[in-house]
Amino acid sequence: MQEQPAMQLRGLTKRVGNKTLVDHLTFDIPKGEVFGFLGPNGAGKTTSIRMMVGLISISEGQVLVHGVDVAKDFSKAMQHVGCIVENPELYKYLTGYQNLRHMARMTPGLDPRRIDEVVALVGLQNRIHDKVKTYSLGMRQRLGLAQALLHEPSILILDEPTNGLDPAGIRELRDHLRKLAREQGMAVIVSSHLLSEMELMCDRVAVIQQGKLIQVERMGDMGLSGDGALSTSFEVDDAAVAERVLRQHFAAQVVTSGDHRVTLPLLREQVPEAVAALTGEGVRLFEVKSQRKTLEESFLEMTGDETIA
């Protein structure tokens, strides 16, 4: 099925002076997916996002929103886009509701009842008429999301959305974004420098480094070989020998960290085989660990996630 992608980047480039911050990015962002921008700090993620939402000018190339060029017909393109760039920006001296009304007025023909809808959606009913300066960071994040969703965009762009959120907040945001993508077919674009976060949130990730696109990959393929593979690490007496042995037996990427630890993606059924191979070669094995749960999930089990009362 050849459907038009929600957003298309075509050779997107930003130059400032003789520095190229973003270098010919070209890829499509399909509907109904959570799409991640992954890269270290300063890789050009935020710069790209700012170009995508028209905050900064485009040096070269195009950003198309449902086929509409952002640079040529900004208003028409932005009708489909909701975004939070860096922090949720709010007028602290206004109430949450007034902030939303402010946003609503910027969208021609928006039904005012939609405000109550998004308030309910982000669960802020009880505090919406309080001044924003009394809100916690989590509540500000929710209000920011409500602002971005107010005009029912088909593309949601969030720059570093998990910054400053506690694990419960991150989990909540993640569930929310996945729901938006699944149920409403929204294209959700998030940026982050944390792989672990992206793993959990995204369907597909574009890896960017020094302004250049390294690769666009489905999350399942990311660094791991095949479905169901778990990151398995072995604590051994000699990592160099272990690495050589494992390379002979498995086609996967083996990573050595320190003198005593090797890590590679393995299916559950492959683990005994690997152990046998290592001991067969005389490698002394102290520990085998398959990573199933991330640290933050364990943390979540302890703290639980609650809605704001």
Q: Is 101 in the site for another protein (CB under 8 A)?
A: yes
Give CA–CA dist 309/304, Å, rounded: 15
Give CA–CA dist 290/263, Å, rounded: 9
Restricting to residues 239-278, name those near another protein by CB under 8 A. none
Q: Are strands 285-291 and 230-236 parallel, antiparallel or unpaired?
A: antiparallel
Q: Are strands 261-266 and 255-257 parallel, antiparallel or unpaired?
A: antiparallel
Element (H, E) at 69: strand 68-69
SS3 call for 127: coil
Residue pointed to by tokens 């191979």: 277
In the bound complex, what is the minimum distance in angstroms from residue 84's beta carbon to another protein? 9
Nearer Cβ to another protein, position 87 or 225?
87
Binding-site string for another protein from residue 205 to residue 244, where x marks contact by CB under 8 A and - marks none: ----------------------------------------
DSSP state of 202: -
Give CA–CA dist 239/5, Å, rounded: 46
Cα dist. 146→17, 65, 82, 177 in Å?
37, 21, 10, 12
Nearer Cβ to another protein, position 53 or 266?
53
Nearer Cβ to another protein, position 89 or 117?
89
* DSSP notation for 203-263: SEEEEEETTEEEEEEEGGGSSS-STT-EEEEEEES-HHHHHHHHHHH--SPPEEETTTEEE
In the bound complex, what is the minimum distance in angstroms from residue 76's beta carbon to another protein? 7
Q: Is 294 in the site for another protein (CB under 8 A)?
A: no
Restricting to residues 29-48, name those near another protein by CB under 8 A. 46-47
Nearer Cβ to another protein, position 140 or 176?
140
Restricting to residues 132-191, name those near another protein by CB under 8 A. 147, 151
Q: Is 78 in the site for another protein (CB under 8 A)?
A: yes
Q: What are phi and psi of 290, to 5 degrees?
A: -105, 125
Among 1, 57, 183, 293, binds another protein (CB under 8 A): 57
Nearer Cβ to another protein, position 9 or 300?
9
In the bound complex, what is the minimum distance in angstroms from residue 1's beta carbon to another protein? 29
In the bound complex, what is the minimum distance in angstroms from residue 256's beta carbon to another protein? 36
Nearer Cβ to another protein, position 9 or 283?
9
Rule CB under 8 A: which residues touch another protein? 16, 21, 46-47, 50, 53-57, 74-76, 78-79, 81, 83, 85-87, 89-94, 98, 101-103, 105-108, 147, 151
